Amino acid sequence: MKLKSDAEYRKILTPEQYNITREKGTEAPFTGKYWDCKTPGIYNCICCGTALFSSETKYDSGTGWPSFYKPLAMDKIDTETDTSLGMIRTEALCSNCGSHLGHVFSDGPDPSGLRYCMNSASLNLKTKDSE
């Protein structure tokens, strides 16, 4: 599943991006570049470029992380049970390269009722101007 070696990821990612995507870290709330972003576009995996979320499904969850109520396609995101930090959560991973993206919670808006709470550092926003 992993497309690059750890050494290759270390060369192309910032230390924060590496920590979050490869070591399952997290960024502090209200600090990531996309938590309050309203720019239209597609959010891609920072590690492999897979298109994951549309800005059309992004909403302000009040948590300080970019939140979406659904991915572009359900097969773009894999989930695993995460028992770190003394909690049981659902981890969200890029289905193409296995990068840690964030977590999925069941307190999101309609129509899905889900909140895909992502780390900005795991995403790269592609806009019409950046294509």
Question: How far, in Å, CA of 35 to CA of 131, rounded?
Answer: 22
Exactly one of 45, 47, 94, 117 is catalytic; which is it?
117
Amino acid at 131: E
Known catalytic residue: 45?
A: no
Q: Which among 30, 32, 12 is positioned nearest to 22, based on CA atoms?
A: 12
Contact by Cβ (8 Å): 76, 50? yes
Active site residues: 117
